[in-house]
Structure 1
Amino acid sequence: MNKIRSARIAIVLALISTQIGVSKAIAESLDPSLDVSDKDAHSSVHGPVSDQVIAEQRQNLAKNTAGKGFGPQAPRDIDSATGSNSIAFNAAPAYSQMNLCNIHFHKNAEHKGGEFTKYAGNGDGHGYLSG
């Protein structure tokens, strides 16, 4: 039984690795100027940006999404009962019937929860070292 479990874990890790590689390849093919290198390599080049840079980014985001029905994803509060999406979703199928896709991790994620209560700083203006 342990060999089967180990094999399943190895397969999942391989799929995650493949997904990450595919995501990077897609991002690079869509815009070669995108820096999709590893966080450590990227963050060693870029340091934290000023509050002014963050304010400008927020202003541009508000301007570019005004009246479009969407905007920033943060902070995410799944306990909130308010919203305008009237789509009702069915229950998900059993995990054994689903395909593995889009697994990713967020360091310093902005989601509401007890484990994300410490401000991580402005970051580098490109999504790294922030939250």
Structure 2
Amino acid sequence: MSDVDWAEGRTITTAELPAAITAYLLAHRDHDVPTAVGTFTPDAVVTDDGHTYHGLAEIAGWVASTASEYTFTTTLVGASAVDAARYEVRQHLEGDFPGGVVDLRYRFTMHGASIAALEIAA
């Protein structure tokens, strides 16, 4: 995903996000692992905190561990669309994780109606 110029994205409302992204964000917030995993393609890739997870089994393990490791709240800060397949969601998190507060960028690449790649970074 590094060849994408994410700064070129146009601001959008959450209603303009693909349904899979909205479903993933809500499921992750609600610790609903099956629903979160169901938004990805079978060969999806997730990069988070320096680790990369390939395929649904590894992504399910990642979602389960992130959902249970810490308690946190999320606030949507903004969203943008680079093109019809690439979206960025910015969220503010507060919780009992190290540091307690962080602003994260969720960079999604879609394949059809499902998430093919997700990169999470501060």
> Given the two structures, how large is their TM-score scaled by the length of structure 2?
0.28
Structure showing greater Rg: 1
Specify which structure has the higher proportion of strand: 2
Higher RCO (Cα < 8 Å, 6 or more apart): 1
Specify which structure has the higher proportion of helix: 1
